Amino acid sequence: MNLFKKFKKKTNQLTLHSVNTGVFVPITEVKDDVFSQKMLGDGFAIRPNIKEVYSPISGIVTSVFPTKHAIGLKSETGVEVLVHMGIDTVELQGKPFEVFVKEGDLVVPSTKIADIDLAMLNVSNKQSDILVIITSDEDIEFQMASSMNISANDLVGKVILK
């Protein structure tokens, strides 16, 4: 089954958008070594002010983790992106998250993909950073073009395929 037959490689660039309204955080400043040392890939985080989580790209949903804390996406250029909600939230077994997409759904940056219960994360002593990680094995360059305070759907940067 070819889920990507509607997609054609049109460009060597992919724009990334903010998944939430809040404070932009470079990936190297996230308080988790797996992310800050880019073990999963380059990217950024947003410290959220609102519960809504939006897609950072135009593409297709490739996976929704059973614990609802992470959603995999793939752009029409083939770049794979992971939206990871909170730090160490997998142990909460999905309770703070409501996901609105499923595998195979097409998304754009204005698509709401989830809600996150920020109060529950706070009570559980979990950081609420929403991470956007470029997980593709392709040779890429990630350029950030962001300010400190950011609104949902604002342009954050771009990925250039080499």
Residue positions annotated with a catalytic role: 84
**Separation CA 76–CA 34 (nearest Å):** 27
Tracing tokens 């790209």 back to the chain, one arrives at 57
- Distance set, CA 134 to CA 2, 5, 36, 131, 148 (Å): 22, 22, 13, 10, 20
- Give the residue from 57, 61, 56, 54 showing the smallest Cα distance to 4: 61
Specify whether the backbone of 140 is left (phi greater than 0), alpha (psi in -120 to 50) or beta: beta
Which residues lie below 8 Å from residue 37, measured CB to CB, with a gap of 6+?
none
- The strand pair at 97-99 and 112-116 is best described as antiparallel
Tracing tokens 């040392």 back to the chain, one arrives at 37
